[in-house]
Structure 1
Amino acid sequence: DLAMVLAMHINKKPKHGGSVFGRQKLWRERIDADNRLMMNYFAQIPIYPESYFRRRFRISIKLFKHIAEKLTSHDRVFQQRRNVVGELGHSTFQKVTAALRMLTYGILVDLADDHLAMGESQAIMCVKRFAVGVVQVFDPEYLRAPNAEDASRLLEMNKARGFPGMLGSIDCMHWSWKNCSKAWHGQF
């Protein structure tokens, strides 16, 4: 009987999501990690000032919240929901934070687990859905070719910076770097 049950289980197609037979359940304390994240940056009086958030995330808190709000209304993956046993899942801010940090800094999935209590599959899914969602939500307004109004605004802005006639950014490809380290030698 046991052999037949095991054979049935082995031959069964794997289901999408949920627990995997034989895999250990880790109690990651998602809620505590979410509370820490909220206290660090999003509380009424956060532990870290907004300048730290801007340095660490490369965007303002206002823009972060705007992106999170738009993604939450676009894709239900970014909504905080309960799982089948009633446990509260990761918050919207945890999911967006994991995706942004992995994309911005190329951090490993293990760091998302350490800081945000998020497993590998969840973190990777957040990154994929974040990338697709950002393109779908923001493409019409922000990820498009500049129109005449945009071009004139960019030209004026760059003229004020001392780069008249420049539409994009400078890549500094042809500038010499006198204190260039040996590891980067020849690249600049």
Structure 2
Amino acid sequence: MLANVIRLCQHPLAVSAPRRGGSRVGKAQNKDMHRQAGALLLDSEYFTDNATHMTKDFRRRFTNNELFMKIVFGLREYGTYFMCKKDCPGLWGFSSVQKYMAAMLCLAYEAPADATDDYLRMTESRCFETFTMFCRAAMQCWARLFEGAK
């Protein structure tokens, strides 16, 4: 998995800053993706006491909960990108868990970036940006753990 991260971090699109539309005359208004609904759905399916999916399902699909949350906390410590913040209109952005889950879906399952639209409520461009930031964070935070283990 680390080899995939290194390979993807060296891709020309990952090195350059993601291009975004931004505000400009004639640009269509951003569509409401209901980010909070995606966060609540994710939380109710995996992280509550009466979750839809059991712990063994989460472990089979991703990893154990402790390691998952340890990585999420490590990403939060890496930088402010993985922290949940308010945007200009005052709406809460994507949670740290949503961002990490989007990166893991792209990395582990080789899912395309637009596959996160329905489940995590994340657009393709935001998913690609999140994946790029995850690759950078993984290289900075955890690459030294695997340097000797080739």
Change (3 A) 1:79 1:18: farther
Pairing partner for 2:66 from 62, 67, 71: 62
In the TM superposition, residue 16 of structure 1 has moved relative to its aligned partner by 5.8
In structure 2, stretches of 5+ residues that fail to align are: 1-18
Aligned to 2:37: 32
Pairing partner for 1:77 from 77, 81, 85: 81
- Alignment partners' CA distance in 1, 2:44 and 2:31: 24
Matches within 5 A, 1:1-188: 18-19=22-23, 21-57=26-62, 59-140=63-144, 142-146=145-149
- For the aligned residue pairs, the C-alpha RMSD in angstroms reads 1.9
- Alignment partners' CA distance in 2, 1:17 and 1:143: 37
Greater RCO, 1 or 2 (C-alpha within 8 Å, sep 6+): 2
Identify, as 1 or 2, the structure richer in helix.
2
Aligned to 2:12: none
Deviations 1:27-64 (A, max 9, x none): 1111011000001111122110111111212x111111
- Alignment partners' CA distance in 1, 2:40 and 2:51: 12
In the TM superposition, residue 19 of structure 1 has moved relative to its aligned partner by 4.1
In the TM superposition, residue 139 of structure 1 has moved relative to its aligned partner by 2.1
Contact kept? 2:36, 2:94, Cα under 8 Å: yes
Percent of counterpart pairs with the same letter? Answer: 27
In the TM superposition, residue 68 of structure 1 has moved relative to its aligned partner by 0.5
- Alignment partners' CA distance in 2, 1:107 and 1:91: 20
Q: Which amino acid letter does the alignment assign opposite residue 78 of structure 2?
A: H
- Alignment partners' CA distance in 2, 1:123 and 1:60: 23
In the TM superposition, residue 24 of structure 1 has moved relative to its aligned partner by 3.8
Give aligned pairs, total. 131
Contact kept? 1:135, 1:143, Cα under 8 Å: no
Q: Secondary structure at the match of 2:101?
A: helix
In the TM superposition, residue 18 of structure 1 has moved relative to its aligned partner by 3.9
Larger Rg: 1
Deviations 1:41-96 (A, max 9, x none): 11122110111111212x11111100010011112111000011111100000000
In structure 1, stretches of 5+ residues that fail to align are: 1-14, 147-167, 169-188
Deviations 1:93-126 (A, max 9, x none): 0000000011101112222111100011110011
Contact kept? 2:114, 2:127, Cα under 8 Å: no
- Alignment partners' CA distance in 1, 2:148 and 2:21: 39
